[in-house]
Amino acid sequence: MQKHKLYYFNSCIFLIKLLPLIIGCFLLGCSEQKEAQQVLPIQNRVQVAENAININTASAVELEKLPDIGAKTAQEIIEHREKYGRFRKPEHLLFVRGISDKRFRAMRSLIKIE
Amino acid sequence: MSAANSKNSSSNFTLYPLLWLAVCFALGILATHFFVVNWKILLAVCLVFATLSAIFQTRKFALIFLSVAFVAVGGLCLSVENNSVAPNRVKRLYDANQIKSGDPIEIEGVLQGKPELAVGGFFLILKSEKAIYKDAEIKILGNVRLFAPVREEQIKQEYDQLNLNYGSRIRVACQLRREDNYLNAGFTSSKKLLDQRQIDAVAVIKSPLLVEKIADTKTFAPLAWIYERRQNLIIDFRDNFNVSTAGVLIASLLGNQHFLDKNTAEVFRNGGTFHVLVISGLHITFIGGLTLLFIRFFTNKRLSQFIIASLFLWSYSIAVGADVPVIRATIMFTVLLFSQVIYRSGTLLNAFGLCGLILLVWRPSEIFTPSFQLTFVSVGAIVAIAFPLIENLRAIGTWSPSAETPFPPNVSKRLRRFCETLYWRDEVWKIENKRNLWTAKLFKSPHLRWTEKRNLQNPVRYIFEAILVSLIVQTCLLPLLVIYFHRFSFASIFLNLWVGITIALESFAAIIAVFFAQISNVMAFPFIRLTEFFNWLMLSIPQILSANDWASVRLLHYADAMKAVYFLHFVPLLVLTIFLNQWKPFSLSSKFQVSSFKFFVRVSAVSLIVLSALIIFHPFSAPKLDGRLHIDFLDVGQGDAALITFPNGETLLVDGGGKRDFSQTYVQNEYADEPELFEPDTTKVGETVVSAFLWEKGYSQIDYILATHADADHIQGLSDVAKNFKVRAAMFGRTPVQNAEFAELFEILQKRDIPIMKISRGDILNFDAAQIEVLYPEKDDTPDAVSDNNHSIVLRVIYGRRTFLLTGDIEQQTERELLQTPEFLQADVVKAAHHGSRTSSTLGFIEATRAKLVVIPVGRESPHGHPHQEVLERWTNSGAKIVTTGERGTVSVSTDGKDLQLKTFLR
């Protein structure tokens, strides 16, 4: 009985010794934590031109006026619109086959959705 | 309660009751999986039998009741798990086709963990909450994995600005996918693989413009800290070490396999030691063991040792991503350790049973995953076979007369001498002898003097024990290794030891190096070189061995009824295990002296050897001849692969699928003079699709391989086939050695001494009653003759009255040339040229073939939009029936010379 008590006592002491270490870890962890912040989406920073083309209503001919867009891609855009409905954001144009990140950036300021 | 009950009731049950209960539980899961039973029935059965066993707890038959109750509980757990998938889980929505795979969708959710770095981008695990699909907002559940490619500096900066972190709430527009590609026999379903990793769907983020960060949610700080440290370590390893070393360290210590390079990974696979690169049982045991050793310096209280070691292990396993296998291993280690804390005399087998029970209750369906089976069989082999065996051998070797064991071990003399050589300690006996009132002279093994003089006993014993354990584990794992990896490595018995030791040394050196690197580069430099040296050392021996074909063989697995071999393999193993655990070498009236028992042991040992031989040399695996000519067009995504099986059983593989590899990059580390080439370890169509299909069909030899031309989607997979199978000859129209994919194949062919046959227009190849006419290209022996689409080999296969036309990737120009002799083009079945592209299948050509059936090998979603609509219309108008591999999976046509049969993977 005596032995048992000693055993538990010792392990408690050990844990208490360990406590500062654990608390230290927590504090270290907390200090790394940054304040939650609101980040503006990159896309909002673009200035859209006045004569921008509405990709939700434009015809193939109009779409071809955009830089780098040929008849084939224009057709793809229209097919995509028919299949999945209107574009909710200009960026969703990226879903169309043939429109890469680079191509999209080139035309970003020339398109709008409404 | 259950354990206590059974303890009282039977003497047999007392040693490891939990093991039997775990077995019952597992049986229940298996039974429910194969015969679907209503959960209400199971619940009733379970309650009735549990009550019965409680009532009759003092009787012997209470055990049977209890076992039945556990079988029912097992089944119950599985059906509860299966029915508990929420209706708005992403995986359910996709499986029920409520959301179509590949459709644009916007998902909002919280990031789990930091972005997982990879070469050329990073992975995100998003815990989804909301989705906008077709203008409607829906609530969803489940994790999705997103890959964001980062190839340019600008993209990298934009992602940095977004500051994606653990706990960030983001909205991503992407085309989520959850579908099975490569619909062929033998291919492991990708849905299954995702489910095992707890991921519901995957997507690639096409551009940072499609990612919106909404806010940072609150996270658990210590966890965030652990993730941060891990991320930094990955970057540190990457910056400091060469490609191969960094890949090994990041995979084996931090659980991120994206930085492994192809050659290193191949060496590990060939040696059968790839498991050290995956954080799992072995790792956790090793790290846990080390922590325990370390803690023993500070405290000798078992309870505190247990608490600290398991705390450390658990935070480690969470830091490395908390994958299911890691958690499993950690649970096992914790339980085994805990059993040592509460009762030191408890058998390991009992703790092993407890692990099984806990893990199966946690996730009943885990029992069907390879990783669970591999971990369990190997741990079981160690705990139930290796440990008792070594314990007995030690007891025999160290025997000296005492009150409990007055007589020498009751075993053959040879075994006794052997054990004594390994375990007898003469110094110990001398001390013991002085203490006793009486003296005795013991005659021990004559070899002892030799080993003791040279201090060899310890090393010899360690090596013997390690090899014994390794051998036992490999024997038990044999069927699983063949089924899941199609590989058996004889060398792995030794290589596992070698790699285990060197990787430990390497890890220590690496940790010291990284620590010093924080202080100064000069201090770190020697350790970095040391780490790289250990890495080189680790790879050198497997490399030498893997140069020999015998060291590691690729194996097919049996189909149909012969599959029973894999289950039968475990029967003699089980019998031997039971005998071993009942073996009492000091008992005079040992059962082992009875001749019938000896006979049983011998029979099981022999049948074990016979069954192993049956698995390794697979004498009865060859497919049966049915006198028909078969052509299987495989679904290799965008690409071609067709297996022709001739009536006499000879095989010809026309093209092997594949993909061009764009993933090579150059990597510069801080201590190297120039950048190093890095080739990531990606899965390849030739291995996972084509080879797997051939193995599944029961082939270990493909007589001939043929590449129509040197485009990656036709030729690359043949390299893997040439590596994995016996090949009699390879056929080409041209040999463009400057082409990277061709050069790769060419090198393998030369290494394996496979002769090359060049074929050209006018050649006729005879395969028994069947015949192949080569229609194209013209002979051109110049070494740099182009091998492009328009110089594809065109073949017409003829058997009896039936003809098949295989056209490679020929385009209009070649079709026109071929039309000069239209009588050679007539065919019942045509493989449409160039995956149904509008560059080919001209009207004149289509009419000349007069085909009944046209097969178009094409991916489910081709990057080039294949097959083109006008091509489909042209074929339909000509009266041919169209089948594409993208829609139907493998397309198999066969003929006995008169009839024509069509079968597809999906009906």
pLDDT in tens, B295-306: 888 877 888 888
Band of residue B623 on the pLDDT scale cut at 50, 70, 90: confident
The ipTM is 0.76
- Binary contact (B207, A104; C-beta < 8 A): yes
* CA B211/CA B164 separation, integer angstroms: 10
Determine the Cα–Cα distance for residues B639 and B644; give it in Å rounded to an integer: 17
How many Å separate Cα B681 from the centre of its chain? 14
pLDDT of the residue at B612 = 92
B853 by DSSP, 3-state: which?
strand
Percent of chain B with pLDDT over 70: 97
- 8 Å CB contact of B228 and A38: no
Mean pLDDT of B478-494: 89
Distances (CA, A) of B417 to A88, B422, B454, B459, B601: 82, 9, 19, 18, 21
Chains A–B, number of C-beta pairs less than 8 Å apart: 90
- Spell out the residues 6+ positions from residue B753 whose beta carbon is closer than 8 angstroms to its own: none
pLDDT surpassing 70 at residue B11: no
Task: Flag if A88 and B175 touch (Cβ within 8 Å).
Answer: no
Average pLDDT value for chain B: 87
* Span B163-214, pLDDT tens digits: 898 989 999 999 999 988 889 988 888 888 888 888 999 999 999 999 988 8
Reported as a single tens digit per residue, the pLDDT across B662-687 is: 777 787 777 777 778 888 888 889 99
Strands (E), B679-824: 701-707, 726-732, 756-758, 764-767, 770-776, 794-799, 802-806
Q: Is the pLDDT of residue B875 over 90?
A: yes
Give the per-residue pLDDT at A34: 47
CB contact under 8 A, B104 and A7: no
Lowest-confidence segment of B227-231, B406-410, B510-514, B717-721 by average pLDDT? B406-410
pLDDT at B4: 40
Q: Which residues of A touch B215 (CB under 8 A)?
A: 36-38
Q: Which residues of A touch B104 (CB under 8 A)?
A: 84, 92, 95
Q: How far is B437 from chain A (nearest CA, A)?
A: 34
Q: Which residue out of B157, B175, B207 would a mutagenesis test of the A interface target, given it has the greatest number of A Cβ atoms within 10 Å?
A: B207
Q: What average pLDDT score do residues B877-896 get?
A: 93
The segments of chain A whose pLDDT lies below 50 read: 1, 31-36, 43
Q: Are A37 and B132 a contacting pair at CB < 8 A?
A: no
Contacts of A86 in chain B (CB under 8 A): 135
- How far is the alpha carbon of B221 from chain A, nearest alpha carbon, in Å? 5
- The pair of structure tokens assigned to B719 is 């390299």
The nearest alpha carbon in chain A to B168 belongs to A36
> How many angstroms away from the CA of B147 is the closest CA of chain A?
15
Mark yes or no for CB contact B224/A101 under 8 Å.
no
- The whole-angstrom separation of Cα B801 and Cα A48 is 68
Res B437 pLDDT > 90: no
In chain A, which residues have their Cβ closer than 8 Å to the Cβ of B173? 89, 91-92, 94-95
Token reading at B718:
């043949």
- At residue B618 the predicted structure's pLDDT band, cuts being 50, 70 and 90, is confident
pLDDT class for B555, splitting at 50, 70, 90?
confident
The arithmetic mean of pLDDT across residues B793-821, rounded, is 93
Which chain A residues have a beta carbon less than 8 Å from that of B163? 39
Q: What is the 3-state secondary structure (H, E, C) of B345-397?
A: CCCHHHHHHHHHHHHHHHCHHHHHCHHHHHHHHHHHHHHHHHHHHHHHHHHHH
Compute the nearest-CA separation of B875 from chain A (Å). 24
**What pTM did the predictor assign?**
0.87
**Closest chain A residue by Cα to residue B311:** A22
pLDDT in tens, B718-777: 999 999 999 999 999 888 888 888 999 999 999 999 999 999 999 999 998 899 999 988
Query: What are B's interface residues with A at a Cβ cutoff of 8 A?
Result: 103-104, 106, 132, 134-135, 155, 158, 161-163, 165, 173, 175, 206-210, 212-219, 221-226, 228, 299, 301, 303-304, 307-308, 865
Confidence of residue B151 (pLDDT cuts 50, 70, 90): confident
User: Which of A18, A29, A94 comes nearest B207 by C-beta?
Assistant: A94
- The reported pLDDT for the residue numbered B10 is 41
- Looking at residue A35, what is its pLDDT? 45
From the candidates A13, A77, A84, A93, which should be mutated to test the interface with B, based on the most B CB atoms within 10 A?
A84
Please determine, for residue B703, whether its predicted confidence score (pLDDT) is greater than 90: yes
Identity at B644, one-letter amino acid code: I
Contacts of B224 in chain A (CB under 8 A): 29, 32-33
For the record, the structure tokens of B54 come out as 């409680």
> First and final CA of chain A: distance in angstroms?
82
The rounded distance, in Å, linking the Cα atoms of B877 and B262 is 48
**Cross-chain CB nearest to A39 (options B163, B206, B223):** B163
Q: How many CB atoms lie within 10 A of CB B437?
A: 4
B308 contacts A42? CB cut-off 8 A: no
The count of C-alpha atoms lying within 13 angstroms of the C-alpha of B540, restricted to the half-sphere facing its C-beta, is: 7
**Are residues B377 and B419 in contact, defined by beta-carbon separation less than 8 angstroms?**
no
Whole-Å CA distances, B218 to A27, A36, B169, B211, B506: 16, 8, 10, 20, 38
Burial of B101 (0-12, 13-18, 19+ CB in 10 A): middle
Whether residue B8 has pLDDT greater than 80: no
Shortest CB distance from A29 goes to which of B209, B210, B221?
A: B221
Residue from B505, B517, B466, B483 nearest B369 by CA: B483
User: Would the CB atoms of B209 and A14 count as touching at under 8 Å?
Assistant: no
